[in-house]
Amino acid sequence: MQPLSFAQFSFPNFGAIGNPEVWIVAFTIALVASLETLLCVEATDKIDPLKRVTPTNRELLAQGIGNVVSGFIGGLPVTQVIVRSSANIQSGGKTKMSAIIHGFLLLISVILIPNLLNKIPLSVLAAVLFIVGYKLAKPALFVEMYRLGWKQFTPFVVTVLGIIFTDLLVGIALGLAVGIVVILIKNFQNSHFLHIEDKSNGVHKIKMTLAEEVTFFNKGAILKELDNLPRDSYLELDVTKTRYLDNDIIEILEDFSEKARQRHIDIKLISVRGVVENPESFIQFFQLRPQTV
């Protein structure tokens, strides 16, 4: 490592601005750096003893400005690093000034004692990273995530394994994909609530309450419940809490209304618009389009 001098600064070569490979690399670095910063922000907020919340938009804006300045003087991209944030917190730092002083100390060290810094064994730096990583991802954290259930544990483990065996971007993408699948499964299961209120006089009085958001993902579950209703039933369909009802669901209800007449099933539709007994057409009731009920 040579002492810092102005000869080490270089102005960007704008002649390469039309090269598509430059843009691909730039967007890749921007995406990875932004994801790393957001992850570090979340981790830092969790270990902050005062439990403050970092404004992520301001953090990304500052990172973008820093990368522009760094690029103009030939520097590498910058991003938030959990090691420095963790070191500041463990050293008792509580304000923004701790990060600023930390940065100035690093700059002064690079300018004044570059040769001494170059003598620090890489194994020592690796050991510091291992210790910090262990403190951020203790075995207790894995146990805690496991106790929260498979819907929390599965995306967590997939993300960790993806980052370890591939890289940060791929690991996050895998975890995000698994998380989306888990959300879809959860949404599919929570489309409605069904309970039998009365079985007297040989009539099954059943109440079905639809969820706040009912989309085409819930089509199969609702269709299955309606088909399983016994003959000579009385169904109360409550949509008072439903804010969005997809057109696919409305069509299911429309088709079921004909089956209900054949199976002697009476339907009582309860909504904020009023109560309707055996509506002639669900499509007309919901005005032929996905509804905010």
d(CA 17, CA 203): 75
Question: What are the structural domains of the chain?
Answer: 6-136 (no CATH), 137-189 (no CATH), 191-285 (3.30.750.24)
Tens of pLDDT, residue by residue over 245-267, are 888 888 888 888 888 888 888 88
- Residues in contact with 49: Cβ distance below 8 Å, sequence separation at least 6, in sequence order: 89, 94
Nearest alpha-carbon partner for 221 in 210, 232, 230: 210
pLDDT given at position 289: 46
Average pLDDT value over all residues in the chain: 81
**Helical pair 150-165 and 139-147, crossing angle rounded to 10 deg:** 140
pTM of the model: 0.53
Segment 189-198 mean pLDDT: 59
pLDDT given at position 290: 46
Tens of pLDDT, residue by residue over 108-141, are 888 888 888 888 898 988 888 788 777 767 788 7
Higher-pLDDT residue of 201 and 80 is 80
